[in-house]
Structure 1
Amino acid sequence: MTDIRVPKLNNNDATYVLVDWLVDDGQQVKAGDPIVVLETSKATEELESEEDGFVWRVLPLNADCAPGAVLARLTADESRPVSPSPGVFPSADTPVAGDSAGGSVGPGSSERDATDGSAGAGSAAGGSVGGSAGAGSAAGGSVGGSAGAGSAAGGAADGSMGGPLITAPARALIDELCVDLAEVRALGVTVVRRADVERLAARSAPAPREEAAAPGESRRPATGRPYELPRVQRAVAKVVRVSHATIPAAYTVVKADTGPLLELAARMTREVRRPVGLPELVTSAVARLHADFPLCFATLVDDASALLPDAPHVGVTIDAGEGLYVPVIHDAARRSVKQIATRLMEYRLAALTGDFREDDLTGANIAVTLHHDGDVTLAVPLIFPGHACALAVTSPQAELRLDGGEVVTRTVVNIGMAYDHRLVNGRDAALFLRALKALLESPQETFG
């Protein structure tokens, strides 16, 4: 018998939510088969079986589970394993403390996003509820086995009466915003996540919280009333605070002639049938510099040492109007331009819904921020905690220059580099940018 345990998915959350079982209790699986879906504060993650066998569930739907907790047990035959020993989570067939007779409400909800600062329904400030039914929420608590507020009224939506499964963070927000459960069911999804509730609340909000904007302009918060920052923006704020408080940053910028590069990008778009532009080509070029400039991809360990990664994992900023995300092109130096273009196209679609997997948003060791507004001529990027460098690329702009006594036009972009001065000095930053400029200004040799 093998225990299937909750892995460590990210550093932001102490617990995750079990949002979906992909196999029945006692079902036979093969190694590599997906068996369960966990939700973190940022994304969802499918876990796969590492061995062949029969899966016996231990945790119920909607359970809060910490890294190391037993999710299920895997046996070599169809014999159900013995009951779990004391101290382990109850089996899927065991009612959770606080459940009503015949109900299927999982543990109470608790908001795990450190940037959110609010705890879910049923949690108590700073405390842990063991087996009582919670009704109302307060900041900072964790719930061990209580049924959150709204669980009784929302039984159908929680899945006990055939409705969609509502994750703990989503249920907490439903209670907080007093969202009608009929509207939640009308979403037509099998698993309702917090992002779904946020979009639903935004659509059904009464008087506009933001002033209308002309096409192409950013929406503006309405004046004279409180404006609640979206969850994604609160996450950005946390990163900004940590970055500015802990990283002594310096900044250098170069100008690159990208006319031939953009011509190549247009041809490659037709050839690979994927959108190829500055984001794809700059990402590829940055990754190619990893071998020559490993410190620009390093992570500071302490005042005397740094960890040099064995591969470049490039984070690329994407903001589709629903919040800023930084998905990662993993091992980017080994990927072709077509592969990078395909991945970024998938990420842009995911940014519209916030439907990222945990792995999509973790593991970067350098970031590229993109500015598409033609009036932006210079930008200082934010260095993410744990990174040594971040790059900012402006939109292409026409520039007049003298060439042999004649006035000619060329297309240029400014590429700025912010760097942690504890790891990278000004000379190294200049050499890195010069090498990047050379790759982009010789596109046929670099990408052809």
Structure 2
Amino acid sequence: MCSGTGHTCGRKTDYAFEMACSNIRYGEGVTREIGMDLQNLSVRNVCLMTDSNLSRLPPVTAVLDSLARHGVKYECYDKVRVEPTDSSFKAAIDFAKKRDFDAYVAVGGGSVIDTCKAANLYACHPTADFLDFVNAPIGKGKPVTGTLKPLIAVPTTAGTGSETTGVAIFDFEDLKAKTGIASRSLRPTLGMVDPLHTLHMPARVAANSGFDVLCHALESYTALPYTMRSPCPTNPINRPAYQGSNPVSDVWAKHALRMVAKYLKRAVRDPDDVEARSSMHLASVFAGIGFGNAGVHLCHGMSYPIAGNVKTHKAKGYSVDHSLVPHGLSVVLTSPAVFAFTASMCPERHLEAAEILGADVRNVKAADAGSVLADTLRKILFDLEVEDGLAAVGYSKEDIPALVKGTIPQERVTKLAPRSHTEEDLTELFAASMKLF
């Protein structure tokens, strides 16, 4: 399969995939153990990261109680921005660099966990330029060679799966588009998944977080197979975290879809439904393991400029003072158009996903797989009262060129789409997503 030199692969596409995942601990009230974990690591000074809203809520209180009970010294950084930017990343990095932290704790959603990953990375590489590790073509995409400090992630939303992955996403303000850093080295040492923390999510936060789980699972399951991804790495350190669909990720993605189908609507409609909120928390982990190794594709690639170019839209249920299209919402608004577009390349997978999500596919032809999955997604979104397309969050036809321009640099994910696409295709997908219902 590969040449005998041990340094080069004798084929253009990859022949192997690698599974990587954080250790995960799950259970109601498990946060009380975090002080003991840090003691067991023999740490002296912990960096606790969260955001200003969460800093006053029970999840952070539970962590602080455990740290105090076990005599763990810490400093708190609560200025994490919801939907972080390069500027907010740099502020957190600066905070970390000026102290001598030997462990990190992130309490929050993906914004907090991703910010903490970046702070840990650059504090451990103090001479690195910010763009050194940022994904190409925006950054240099250099591999991470140094060892990072232990990071314990305590997720408070059921969406990003950031507690399982080596990815940190941010808005690059100059380009008005999201990009990120992707390296297995960024993975948290431990993801402490305590379902009690999800009971504090407002309904819209639960919905948008759940949409991220939905798209993580759908995109990783329908991604280009790992054996078709190019180039074949000349060294295993260059094999990307996002490798394409593979047999192990498929298992996690499909199970996450089943849980979304069963529990998402319940979790949104009743915040006291502990079973539903707990199950969505687990679904987020499962989807995270899947996409953290397989990758995502067009919904995520197109979502980054949707979030980055936001004008005046302020999402309901979020305590922020800036315009915001939440990540999960920015991802799911294009999903009907995207999966109608990609279905021709692997119709059986699109049909299987539609069936898991509740569609009757017994007499459906392969040629109709895309429209069936798209209609199934529209029904879910309509039932959960999602904004009616990009127009409902402030975009018009005149914005499409800027949205396409912001998608083009997202090749780390868009190249994993099962169907190749042009700028004209992206233009049509954004146009088709202006209105959903």
Give the number of the structure whose residues are more often strand, by fraction.
1
- CA radius of gyration, larger in: 1
| TM-score (norm. length: structure 2) | 0.25
